[in-house]
Amino acid sequence: MRLLVVDQDGVEHELQALDGWRAMEIMRDWDLNIKAECGGAGACATCHVYVDDKWVDKLADKSHEEEDMLETVRDMRGNSRLSCQILMSDALDGLKLTLAGGAAKGSAAA
């Protein structure tokens, strides 16, 4: 299965994804520019992404914890998600995400 990711420079990457893996784990393992400081606990928002509009309704609903964490990011949008909370499955083959600027390694804040 594939995960499409647009990085902070606008370059699109096609990544091989594995069923049950978090989108954040896949991006980190492919060495994309993502902090992911808490390692997937949903406690830092340093894996903030924007979900392509055609995929927003195909994802599981945000938990209250994810919503609370997203409220802390300076560049939140209606399609913002924490990539550590997106579990890949066959239904998400071809999912397209864009890395938020605050998720970049070395950025000051999420």
Distance from the Cα of residue 12 to its chain's centroid: 14
For residue 42, the enclosing domain spans 2-103
Domain count, the chain: 1
pLDDT band at 109 (very low <50, low <70, confident <90, very high): low
Asked if the structure places residue 110 within a domain, the reply is no
Tokens of 43: 């406690």
Asked if the structure places residue 59 within a domain, the reply is yes
Asked if the structure places residue 109 within a domain, the reply is no
At residue 110, does pLDDT exceed 90?
A: no
pLDDT computed for residue 104 by the predictor? 87
pLDDT computed for residue 108 by the predictor? 67
pLDDT band at 2 (very low <50, low <70, confident <90, very high): very high
Amino acid at 52: D
- CATH number of the domain where residue 97 is located: 3.10.20.30
Q: Model confidence over 73-95: pLDDT tens digits?
A: 999 999 999 999 999 999 999 99
Asked if the structure places residue 81 within a domain, the reply is yes
Q: Model confidence over 25-78: pLDDT tens digits?
A: 999 999 999 999 888 888 899 999 999 999 999 999 999 999 999 999 999 999
* Predicted TM-score (pTM) of this structure: 0.93
Asked if the structure places residue 108 within a domain, the reply is no
E strand segments, the chain: 2-6, 12-16, 48-51, 80-82, 95-99
